[in-house]
Amino acid sequence: MTLKKSFETIAVSGISGGDEATGAISFPIYQAATFKHHGLNNSTGYDYARAQNPTREEAEKTLAVLEGGKSAIGFSSGVAAITACIHLFKSGDHIILSDDLYGGTYRLFDDIFRDFGLEATFIDTTDTQNILNSLKENTKAILIETPSNPMMKVTDIRAVAEITKENGLLLIVDNTFLTPYYQRPLELGADLVVHSGTKFLGGHHDLLAGFIVANDEEILQKLRRIHMSTGATLSPFDSWLILRGIKTLHIRLERSQENTIKIAKFLERNPKVEKVYYVGLENFEGYEVNKGQSTGFGATLSFRVKDKELIPKILERVKIIRFAESLGGVETLITYPITQTHSEIPEDIKKRLGVDEYLLRLSVGIENIDDLIKDLENAIGK
């Protein structure tokens, strides 16, 4: 599905431009679990909210157009969306995943679904040779995060798509960090795009949501059946919050990215910081690949301090920046991955990636940049 209007206009108006029946500019919250039939075989198109709800449908259709997809499916969380993707496979199937990714995704594959006979291999997907070396007869899909969490590693989506097409595999791309405003994986060869809508799409740390976007109708039909049968559907109110968040997505991302670039450069100059991991830095390893497949760098970075004894001091001293999990909101958050988002990743993988006692992650918001830098300066020291 191609964009007939600009991204910004669709984001602001939604797919329907408001409620046609009443003229309401803000699409209504249809807080209904069930819908009346006018007679036998005479439905309004809505029957039971687990199958579909008008507010959720508006959010799904809006995101589908923004992602360049045929259809989107809204879930109660990002993890629920990934779980639905897993249900496309069966016992004995093998999935290749990025080794640097959200800890909850790792837990799903290595803990929950391993008991159901699903095999998972976690590798550095930035090197396509690693992918080729990991292919097996029972490999069915590749799932990548790019940029990855928390080390901001960039995988070449087009290159991986070539591998999946040649081998009859599905390519699943987690596009949470860049959103369709900066990156559209379907146009680069992905089969499925997943989102934690909790993050940048919602943008205000006040909802849980997840989405899958795709173009293949056969896959979409399977996912819709999984969606309705397992029941992790997006609520009407959270659907409305997503619609509200998307209206300002482009403005928030631009301001947050502007702040992130300035903070990344500030951290690079700080003698107590050993390294900054941010895709928007020209000397960063994934800069050129990211530039070739996206239009932006996002608003998340990680950085390593030279002395781990500084970590608790930073987390206690920040005043404007909040020490909390999650990312993608208007408020700037700082996270300690080793004890929070990535606590369940095996030690050998964390060691290989560099997720250790020295690493912090920042999700940069839209506050005044001078205030944010002063806050970091006071917390880290000069």
User: Would you state the pLDDT for residue 3?
Assistant: 52
Q: Given the residues 93, 100, 102, 244, select the one marked as catalytic.
A: 102
Pairwise CA distance, residues 242 & 280, whole Å: 27
Averaged confidence pLDDT in the chain? 95
199 is catalytic: yes
Confidence check: pLDDT of 373 > 90: yes
User: Would you state the pLDDT for residue 343?
Assistant: 79
User: Would you state the pLDDT for residue 334?
Assistant: 98
Residue 9 belongs to some domain of the structure: no
Residue 374 belongs to some domain of the structure: yes
Q: Are 280 and 297 in contact (CB under 8 A)?
A: yes
pLDDT digits (tens, 9 = 90+) for 77-109: 999 999 999 999 999 999 999 999 988 899 999
Residue 10 belongs to some domain of the structure: no
Q: What are phi and psi of 285, to 5 degrees?
A: -60, -40
Pairwise CA distance, residues 363 & 252, whole Å: 12
Q: How many residues does the chain have?
A: 382
304 is catalytic: no
Q: What is the mean pLDDT of residues 22-43?
A: 93
Residue 194 belongs to some domain of the structure: no
What CATH number is associated with residue 310?
3.90.1150.10
pTM for this prediction: 0.96
Residue 268 belongs to some domain of the structure: yes
Pairwise CA distance, residues 88 & 103, whole Å: 21
Residue 15 belongs to some domain of the structure: no
- Tokens 């404007």: give the residue: 320
Q: What is the mean pLDDT of residues 331-357?
A: 88
pLDDT digits (tens, 9 = 90+) for 6-31: 999 999 999 999 988 899 999 999 99
370 is catalytic: no
How far is residue 369 from each of residues 45, 58, 196, 277, 373, measured CA to CA in Å?
48, 35, 26, 19, 6
Q: What residue numbers bound the domain in which 336 lies?
A: 250-380
Q: How many domains does the chain have?
A: 1
Q: Given the residues 93, 99, 156, 174, select the one marked as catalytic.
A: 174
Confidence check: pLDDT of 132 > 60: yes
Residue 255 belongs to some domain of the structure: yes
Share of the chain above pLDDT 70, in %: 99
Q: Given the residues 140, 184, 199, 361, select the one marked as catalytic.
A: 199
Confidence check: pLDDT of 342 > 90: no
pLDDT digits (tens, 9 = 90+) for 269-312: 999 999 999 999 999 999 999 999 999 999 999 999 999 999 99
Q: Are 366 and 255 in contact (CB under 8 A)?
A: yes
DSSP states along 224-248: HHHHHHH--BPPHHHHHHHHHHHHT
Specify which residues 139 forms β-bridges with.
Answer: 94
Q: Are 62 and 10 in contact (CB under 8 A)?
A: yes
Residue 39 belongs to some domain of the structure: no
Tell whether omega for the bond before 147 is within 30 degrees of 0, i.e. cis. yes
